[in-house]
Amino acid sequence: MPRQLLTALLLFLVAEELIQWLDPAFGLAAVLADDDATAARTYGRLPQDGLLQAAQPAALEHRRLGQGQVSDCLSAAGLGSPASLPASAHWPFIGREVEAALVHGLASHPTAREKGNALLAVNVAAISPAGASAPAGQGEEHMRQRIILDTDIGTDIDDAYALALILASPELELVGVTIANNRTDQRAKLALKMLYETGLERVPVAVGRVTETGGSVNQYPWAEDFVATQPIAQSAAEFLVDQVNQHPGEITILAVGPFTNIGDALALDPQFLQKARSFCIMGGCVGWPEGATPEIRPEYNIVTDIPASQAMFRAGVPVLMVPLDATMQVQLQADFRARLQTRGTPLTDALTRMLALWPHDTPTLHDPLAVGMLLDPALCGVAEMHIEVDQEGITRPSAGEPNCRVAVTPRVGAFLQLFMERLLTQDLKRN
């Protein structure tokens, strides 16, 4: 029997064994990535989350993935029976260690969770720029979500990945970028150059006030000599207030850096957030028991400007909060970075060059996960909470009417597939 056919059959058989082992041991369940229609669009989306992290029932409804559903999923994807899965050319990330885990049963493997997530690589490997289908919504009549990104791009690399995901997602219309945190002039040049390289220089960039906070803008050398475009004259806070007043109920504000610009905008117009369509942040930590941070700890975006963070949570608008509890589980491993590096578009080239200047190894995709929640709210299980920011900058769940929907249980595989699919299939460039 050919090796690839044997591997395909083993994948099919292991799915049922996983369920039998998981439920008695942990009360967990493998989940089908999306509905069957979405699965059909993206190579069937087999159990891409591997072993789903435990989640309270109120936060996420589990769907079992049994043997019959694997078969149904394959049929919906037009792949026929399990024996007709793609040939070995489509499976480059299934190495000997993963195959060994499959042969012996993922349940008995000491790193079963990691091996389960490795199945995601099968789907990502099957994405090719030439043959992939267009991102969801492209070429169809649909309402694009208008968004302003408030960011401190240039210190951690995840801000650049978040901007890239927005640009590569046709459901989102980027109305503007506002820049926060210390050397805002340097950070603005990074955003301006990314927009220019992708042919989107029409998107305005508004600069927030310089502050004495934040780390070095380590990615600045990539844009240091860039002079083709300039920020607009309006300050970041003025731009935010002006846009929501011109377009009430239409604009989503996504804040993924310290919240100085949000605080300054609230000082100009205390009702400004109430005029937005929705408000989403990456920030905080709630100590979710099954999350990456089961003990509450300070989070950078909150503690960098505590008064602004307090004003934001007291503004009287519901906040979609994507905290460390969820984001710390989502990392961009070397295999995926390599695929982006070899894609060779202006956007992926920009990310590669900025990543080379970032003084760390493996990116954690904090900010992109917040973008993902705007694209697909089902990417994380959420819990409703009342959040207050104390004098130390801790985001504490407390008694009271919920003011936040807090993302606590990310579907890591589903998000990474979305992220990679968008960046690998885009071809943004200057005309």
Say what the pLDDT of residue 122 is.
44
pLDDT tier for residue 431 given thresholds of 50, 70 and 90: confident
Q: Is the pLDDT of residue 36 over 70?
A: no
Q: Is the pLDDT of residue 214 over 80?
A: no
pLDDT tier for residue 215 given thresholds of 50, 70 and 90: confident
- Phi, psi for residue 241 in degrees, rounded to 5: -65, -45
Q: Are 279 and 324 a contacting pair, CB within 8 Å?
A: no
Whose CA is closest to 256, among 160, 347, 120?
160
DSSP string, 140-164: S--PPEEEEEEE-TTSSTHHHHHHH
Say what the pLDDT of residue 398 is.
94
Which tokens in the block code for residue 204? 């305005």
Separation of alpha carbons 112 and 119, rounded Å: 11
Sign for the pseudo-dihedral over CA of 347, 351, 357, 358: positive
- The 10 Å Cβ neighbour count of residue 231 is 21
Say what the pLDDT of residue 4 is.
55
| pLDDT per position as a tens digit, 277-286 | 999 999 999 9
**What is the average pLDDT value for the chain, to the nearest integer?**
77
Sign for the pseudo-dihedral over CA of 329, 330, 335, 338: negative
Which tokens in the block code for residue 266? 């609230």
Give mean pLDDT, residues 226-238: 98
Q: Give how far the C-alpha of residue 383 lies from the chain's centroid of Cα atoms, to the nearest Å.
A: 18
Sheet order of strands, 251-255 included: 205-207, 172-179, 145-151, 251-255, 278-282, 319-322, 404-410, 380-389, 395-398
pLDDT tier for residue 143 given thresholds of 50, 70 and 90: confident
Q: What percent of the chain has pLDDT over 70?
A: 67
Q: Report the Cα–Cα distance between both ends of the chain, in Å, rounded.
A: 50
Helix (H) or strand (E) holding 279: strand 278-282
Least confident of 23-37, 75-89, 365-379, 410-424: 23-37
Least confident of 13-27, 194-208, 282-296, 382-396: 13-27
Q: What is the pTM of this model?
A: 0.73
Give mean pLDDT, residues 360-385: 97
Say what the pLDDT of residue 290 is.
86
Separation of alpha carbons 344 and 333, rounded Å: 19
pLDDT tier for residue 63 given thresholds of 50, 70 and 90: very low
Give mean pLDDT, residues 383-407: 96
DSSP string, 357-374: HSSSSS-B-HHHHHHHHH
Q: Is the pLDDT of residue 27 over 70?
A: no
Say what the pLDDT of residue 321 is.
98
Torsion of CA 189, 369, 283, 63, to 10 degrees: 170
Say what the pLDDT of residue 361 is.
94
Whose CA is closest to 68, among 94, 36, 42?
36
Helix (H) or strand (E) holding 280: strand 278-282
Q: What letter represents residue 294's amino acid?
A: P
Q: Is the pLDDT of residue 259 over 90?
A: yes
Question: All domains of the chain, ordered by start, with CATH?
Answer: 3-125 (no CATH), 145-425 (3.90.245.10)
| Residue with tokens 């509450």, as numbered in its chain | 296
Which tokens in the block code for residue 201? 């220089």
Q: Are 381 and 52 a contacting pair, CB within 8 Å?
A: no
pLDDT tier for residue 220 given thresholds of 50, 70 and 90: very high
- Beta bridge partners, 389, equal 395
Q: Is the pLDDT of residue 409 over 80?
A: yes
Least confident of 54-63, 78-87, 113-122, 392-401: 54-63
Separation of alpha carbons 137 and 417, rounded Å: 17
pLDDT tier for residue 43 given thresholds of 50, 70 and 90: very low
Say what the pLDDT of residue 3 is.
55
